Amino acid sequence: MNKWIEWKFKGEATSPYDSSDHEALNVNTYNHGSTLSQTLQYSMFEYDGENYYILQVHGGCDIRGGYTTPRVFSCAGKTEWGLTYDQDATVYCEDCGTQWYQYAGYWSSDDSGVELESCKIVKDETEEDFNNRRVIDENQDENQLELILGEGPKFVNTIHVYDGKASCPCCGKGVLS
């Protein structure tokens, strides 16, 4: 891709972040954590005041090959790039408010102590199964004393999935968004 950029723009294309650098910025999402389900390889460059990227999608097999024919895209006058290598994500529970963040391919939570990767995933077959999942409710008599004493279950540690919904592994009640 860099050789094509050099040939096409005869050395006039520059890095988008440093106009003195005549190398395009190269990214392969395989080399970084990402929320993408497929590997992308792209170069970002600037020419004549316009930002562009040249993109290839990995089609399978060895990561060193198997990419589609490169395609060039304009950022259409926007000042920010349309692609980044650290595709971040956030999910939160609508009920208890716990949040998890994905950065560089790793999920973490600021306050829950629950690691999403270690949770059991249950694919419920019916909506009734999903609605009857285990929950932790501080107002329920059976859990209240255990929670107050710090001896009982504080986390469900199970994510129930049904019809595009996923339950919170902390409280079990909320649905992750």
**Interatomic CA distance for residues 100 and 176, integer angstroms:** 10
Measured CA to CA in angstroms, residue 47 lies from 8, 13, 22, 65 at distances of 11, 5, 10, 28
In three-state secondary structure terms, 66 is coil
Residue 92's identity, in one-letter code, is Y
| Phi, psi dihedral angles at 51 (to 5 degrees) | -95, 140
Query: What is the pTM assigned to this prediction?
Result: 0.50
CA triple 153-159-162, angle to 5 deg: 140
Q: Quick one: pLDDT at residue 58? A: 92
The structural domains of the chain, with segments of one domain joined by +, span: 2-74, 89-166
Q: Quick one: pLDDT at residue 85? A: 43
H or E segment and range at residue 7: helix 2-9
DSSP 103-172: ETTEEEESS----GGGSEEEE-SSHHHHHT-----TTSHHHHHHHHHT-S-----EEEEETTEEB-TTTS
Q: Which two tokens stand for residue 140?
A: 């329920």
7-10 own/partner pairs: CB under 8 Å, 24+ apart: 9/45, 9/47
The per-residue pLDDT string of the chain (177 residues; one tens digit each, 9 = 90 and over) reads 888 888 888 888 877 666 555 566 777 888 876 667 788 888 888 888 888 888 899 998 888 899 999 999 887 755 455 555 445 678 888 888 888 877 655 677 766 677 777 888 889 999 999 888 888 766 655 555 555 555 545 667 888 899 988 888 888 888 887
**Interatomic CA distance for residues 22 and 91, integer angstroms:** 39
